[in-house]
Amino acid sequence: MMIAGSLVSAQQTPRRLSDSKFAKNYQVSWGSSNTRLMNRGSQLQLLLTNNTGGSGFASKNKYLFGYVSMRIKLVANESAGTVTTFYMPSKDHDEIDFEFLGNTSGQPYIVHTNIFANGTGDREQQIYLWFDPTADFHTYSILWNRRQIILYVDDVPIRVFANKMAELGVPFPLTKPMAVYASLWNGDDWATRGGLEKIKWNKSPFVASFRGFGIDACKWSSSSPRSCTKTRRPPKWWESSMFLVKDEDTTHKLQWVKDNWMIYDYCKDFKRFLRLPPEC
């Protein structure tokens, strides 16, 4: 796929995490018969079939602020109706989402992102990718601190959601610990062309592959619930000054994504909202 526009090299990118074995941080959470652990535990495949359904895994711990990263190779060829996810939810529905919406052969994947706070979402953005996400593994990451959430694709920021609670009263995830999840499931009632394209079960099993499994975040404990919110000296790297504001380099890259790859932004949907959300 040709890259539209130009993108300068990153100057302020998140720390690159070393690969971990799956079992270090994660465990299968559902559909265990539809998982394959490979390469001495360094890669997990999730499968989706008509007979046995989908599958998913979850982190063993919950976290409050930090950085999580996953290398994913998405379902290839006829992926219409399939949904591959990588996301962080809390018990009371704070949530940070990557959802990868499959498509018919030759058509691009859609990356669907959303952010919930205090149970309120409706903050969807959708982009195409500037590469084929089924040909090789690519890195998808979430950086979350008190000031902002940044979603990355291969170290390119595709979305920033800033904490505007003080200025605008917009809810922001600040107090609820989140686990990390990934899954592959049947979403053909909505995922591809609004549900018009259904899963072609004769092409199953559908396979999404995961590597990396990196987590560098504050592990939350019920016995010490404030340990992740107290001020640290020195701060963790994801709390350092360069990640607390949307700097010029990040702003440039976000504009590149917006100009060339964004296909939906809730902040531009005047038909949906009689009054746009205040953060827009």
Instruction: Give bridge partners of residue 139 from the DSSP assignment.
Output: 71
Distance between CA atoms of residues 276 and 82, nearest Å:
31
Catalytically annotated residue among 78, 95, 197, 279: 95
Please confirm, yes or no, whether 95 is among the known catalytic residues: yes
Distance between CA atoms of residues 126 and 26, nearest Å:
28
Please confirm, yes or no, whether 78 is among the known catalytic residues: no
> Could you give phi then psi for residue 237, rounded to 5 degrees?
-60, -35
Catalytically annotated residue among 78, 99, 197, 279: 99
Q: What is the dihedral of CA 227, 231, 237, 239, to 10 degrees?
A: 110
Whether the CB-CB separation of 72 and 152 falls below 8 Å is answered with no
Q: What is the dihedral of CA 76, 82, 84, 87, to 10 degrees?
A: 160
Whether the CB-CB separation of 69 and 197 falls below 8 Å is answered with no
Collect contacts of 191-194 with beta carbons under 8 A, ≥24 apart. Answer: 191/80, 191/81, 191/82, 191/83, 191/101, 191/102, 192/80, 192/81, 192/101, 192/102, 192/103, 192/104
* Residue 45 CB partners (closer than 8 Å, separation 6+): 35, 36, 38, 207, 208, 209, 210
SS3 of residue 276 by DSSP: coil
Residue 249 structure tokens: 């380099």
Active centre residues (catalytic): 95, 99
